[in-house]
Amino acid sequence: MEPDDLSGSVHRYRVPESGVRVFVVDDPDPYGHGDHDADDPDVHQAGDVWALSVPPPWCRP
């Protein structure tokens, strides 16, 4: 996996062989509200996979 976009509160990585993109939470409290509970397992934490994007077969490299 190689970094595709490391800006913002969610980082995007790309798997070149497949075109899959992996979105990973970097900052679970991006607006600094301070109400993020790091001990709550139901809340996104830094390092959590937020989403996957899989291109259709005809768009893959």
How does pLDDT run across 39-61, given as a tens digit for each residue?
777 777 888 898 999 988 777 66
Query: pTM score, two decimals?
Result: 0.73
Residue 35 lies in a domain: no
Give me the domain span that covers residue 12.
Answer: 2-29+44-59
Instruction: Summarize pLDDT for 9-21 with one digit per residue, the tens.
Output: 889 999 988 889 9
User: How many CA atoms does the CB half-sphere of 51 hold within 13 Å?
Assistant: 5
Question: Does 31 score more than 90 pLDDT?
Answer: no
For 58, list phi and psi in degrees, rounded to 5: -75, -10
| Average pLDDT over every residue of 12-33 | 84
**Using CA atoms, how far apart are residues 22 and 43, in angstroms rounded to an integer?**
19
Residue 36 lies in a domain: no
**Using CA atoms, how far apart are residues 61 and 47, in angstroms rounded to an integer?**
27
Residue 53 lies in a domain: yes
Predicted pLDDT at 61: 63
Predicted pLDDT at 43: 77
